[in-house]
Chain A
Amino acid sequence: MNFARTMIDTVLSVRDLRTEFATDKGVVRAVNGVSFAMRRGERMAIVGESGSGKSAMAMSLIRLLVHPGKVVNGEVWLQGRDIMTMSESELNDVRGNEIGTVFQDPMSSLDPVMKVRDQMVPPIMRHLSLDRARAEAAAVAWLDKVGIPDAARRIDAFPFEMSGGMRQRVMIAMALSCQPKLIIADEPTTALDVTIQAQIVELLRTLTAETGTAMLFITHDLGLVSRFARTVAVMYAGKIVEIGPTRDVFGNPKHPYTQSLLSAIPRGADGGRSRLVQIPGFPPDMRQEILGCAFKDRCLGAEQRCGEAAPPLSARGPSHDAACWQPNGLDAGSLAQMRKTTDRAARPDVEALPPHDILETNNLSKHFVRGSMLPWRKPVVVRALNGVSLRVRRGETLGIVGESGCGKSTVARLLLELDAPTTGEIFIQGTAQMVFQDPSSSFNPKMRVQDIISEPLDINGRGSKADRAEKVRTLIRQVGLDPSYLERYPSQLSGGQRQRVAVARALALDPTVVVADEPTSALDVSVRAQIINLLCDLKDELGISFVFISHDLSTVRYISDWIAVMYLGEVVEYGPAEEVFRAPAHPYTRALLDAAPVLDPSAEDDRPVSIIKGELPSPLDIPRGCGFATRCPHVSELCRTEKPILVQRQPNRKEACHHVG
């Protein structure tokens, strides 16, 4: 154990923390002996996939776990006092005062029936012993500092009157308002859009630097870690398996889990298209006693002693520890094997393919009209989509990116004829099918996998009963599942398996186009890699075209041949994926790429901090000129009055901006 860091400026030191959840089906050992220390002003990230125990660990630190969760062992020292042995009232003086907390979902973390003022001012009065007037002044000052416009007035707003980004700013203001020594942020940006996420991360970075507050940042997003954290701890099955400076851990990972996780993420920069690493198997059942290393069943380097004793954290470099018997974790050969060696073929040459369109839309728009019960009120028009023209050729993937509210899901619904367009036309050669975002709600819970995959065939009366059964077996093998899964109900499948079934169902009618709306966003990193690999394989083998809709830029970049960037219901930039990502032309595309963190700590350090300001305008009230004018750094008078149209300036590339070229 490397305790070199346990020095005089230590803010927090955690020793052998263990947390259990006593459920009906047995005791879940969520945290299995976690120890680490944090210095003053340190920014540390805890990363892990769902079920790794990272959130339970964070909540244990300030005893915020609720029944049936319980800390069963461990010490948490905060400046000479052990939080675990504090009385209830001592603890209440620490919470909100010496330790501030920011939670994941800003939509649900503020009391909905209380004004911001009533949630924010009383804690300041109590912890800092201020009178009401001074506490209110302090609250307004903090709201101002976290970037809430017109803070003196907004303090009287109810949470529901604010956007998600604004609410998270309020949460941060509340967490910082008593100048704590430590902030615990549990996935603080997960529920937010990329540009807002970048703003919040930047805000946390500058504020903690200014105030010297240490920050513990819990996340599943490795890119964010490299942008934000100096130190990173990787958790697996309730333990820290690797910890150290972010540059070292990401640049030279030593634990097999860290190594495979880092190779399971599509990286934009590496140009070629090597298959993503797939981690076989499932995380261990945390209700069982784990003998030896928890990762051994999924590790290609596992040997006998891994099953006998769990490796302790041991030094691999300055302040860099890993918990593996092998000094360097997996060798290159094992990692290559996990990619299934077959590197992806080079992308089909865009120019060389015959210009054979499978899907085309012309000037597609969709307006939703919301009437009122009162007849004299003017009905409200939501302009979800305003004149979108797209083209997908045979065997190619079109990626559509944009933040929530940009209309990308509306496009999907129109393509599948789930909604009728207000204007415009859609031409599809053959049939289009869809893979939905949430694999748990896109299946009827009363149907078996067999009936789910067979449903499109049944509806359309394809073939005899025996033909259909045979087809279903072919399909399920095609998506990499054993036919024994056909007997199961969706609730008996894991998230990744469900998404495979969804793909199989989409393939049943031999579609020419598959529209996938955020098919991987509900999945963990390692599972996401499997689904991305699957989609790439299918595209190559079956020559299917894909429309891949996502907010995750690195995934879209990895999977797409063409890309359409959407903003406020319009396509603002269109072109070959690699070119657009390498040399974005539209200011919004640039802003998106700047905002999205990449998996390289040194690149993140070198990157100029230019973060787009402001938030998306309401689709009820779209600006008259360019939709992006309210946030664009290059805005001119022309942009405010005249809407730019999508213009082709170089071969294959189009953008809608007055200031390009």
Chain B
Amino acid sequence: MSMTGSAVLFSPAHPFPRVRGKFMQFLSNQKTQIGLLILVPILVLVVLAPYLPLQKPLQTNLRAMMQWPSWTFPFGTDRMGRDVLSRTLEGVKVSLLVGFSVAFISLAFGVVLGTIAGFFGRFVDRAIMTVVDILLAFPSLLLAIGLVSIVGTGIFPVIVAIAFADVPRFVRLQRSLVLGLRTRAFIDAARTMRASKTWLLFRHIVPNTIAPLLVAASIAAANAILVEASLSFLGLGIMPPEPSLGNIIRDGQTYLEQAWWISTLPGAVILAIAISLHFLSDGIRESLDPRART
């Protein structure tokens, strides 16, 4: 078999540069770096908290009630003389646990149900989407409130309640991604090679939904952290003495005039975490799709 005449046209030298690995690209993204710059120090503090010269989160200190922030108590103390910083770090642990569990659970359910609905269509699709539409008729915090009123308070029920409210959003996202991919020419190309449904699903469709799902999941984590804090603030989430950022703020509300730091500083930490997760999500999006920059 002879080579065609055009073979010489393309030598390896060409004007299209190689792209670095996706993960390196993610790390070198400016928004990722901003996000990490906020999140990593918080994580380090949370991990190191037990070894830092801080008063234990639950320990009261009647000689140091409602103290201004100082070197000993960087975030001040509350009405029972507990260290607000060490309680906050304990609360961050809970927040992150809730945030990532919710993101993971809703991602997992969303991917499975959304893929089934989008790929197999017809009756299954209609059944799943009817339920999803009904669930989406509830404002998310209210659905979570309604659910915790049934399943009770505490970390685990709160995670379940928030995830339940989030799953329909992921189902809908995944379904629309799958529907969009199903019409792409590379699916047709694979079908002309007699690819099975499993092949189409696991080689072509699911891998191409991962990036947008990760973007959505990091937003969902930030959102779950905010919802958990709201629930605990309303007294419906995680109950004292177990510290959670929401119930620390709720505690401080009564003493707002005398000790503003009890409520405001932990709130700033929530904000910082939420912002860092949003930056990370932008980082994922931009590093996976260079056109996404606006």
Contacts and interface: CB of A to CB of B under 8 A. Distances in A.
- Give the interface SS of chain A, mostly helix, strand, loop or mixed: loop
Interface string B150-191: 000000000000000000000000000000000011101111
Interface in B1-34: 1-12, 14-19
A493 B12 contact: no
Given A442-B189, A480-B9, A484-B12, A492 B18 contact: yes
Contacts of A275: 5
Q: Which of A480, A488, A530 has the most CB of B within 10 A?
A: A480
Given A278-B6, A436-B189, A480-B10, A541 B19 contact: no
A399 to B, nearest CB: 20
B199 to A, nearest CB: 6
Given A443-B186, A446-B208, A455 B5 contact: no
A563 to B, nearest CB: 24
A479 interface: yes
Contacts of A280: 8-9
Contacts of B190: 444, 455, 459
B14 to A, nearest CB: 7
Given A443-B186, A541-B2, A459 B207 contact: no
Contacts of A444: 186, 190, 203-204, 207-208
Contact of A478 (B3, B195, B208): B3
Contacts of B184: 441
B210 to A, nearest CB: 9
B193 interface: yes
Interface residues of B, number: 36
Given A455-B190, A459-B195, A480 B4 contact: yes
Contacts of B185: 436-438, 441-442
B70 interface: no
Given A444-B204, A493-B16, A538-B4, 10 more contacts: A417-B191, A433-B192, A438-B185, A455-B195, A456-B193, A460-B194, A482-B12, A485-B10, A491-B19, A533-B5
A436 B190 CA distance: 12
A489 B190 CA distance: 17
Given A480-B7, A541-B1, A282 B15 contact: yes
What 7 pairs between A and B have smallest CB-CB spacing?
A340-B5, A480-B6, A456-B193, A442-B185, A537-B4, A484-B12, A441-B185
Contact of B193 (A436, A441, A445, A460): A460
Interface of A: 24, 275, 278, 280-282, 285, 340, 342, 413, 416-418, 432-434, 436-438, 441-446, 455-456, 459-460, 474, 477-482, 484-485, 488-489, 491-494, 497, 505, 509, 530, 533-534, 537-538, 541-542
A150 B273 CA distance: 62
B182 to A, nearest CB: 12
Given A280-B9, A444-B186, A492 B4 contact: no
Contacts of B196: 459
Contacts of B11: 482
B189 A434 contact: yes
A497 B9 CA distance: 10
A489 B1 contact: no
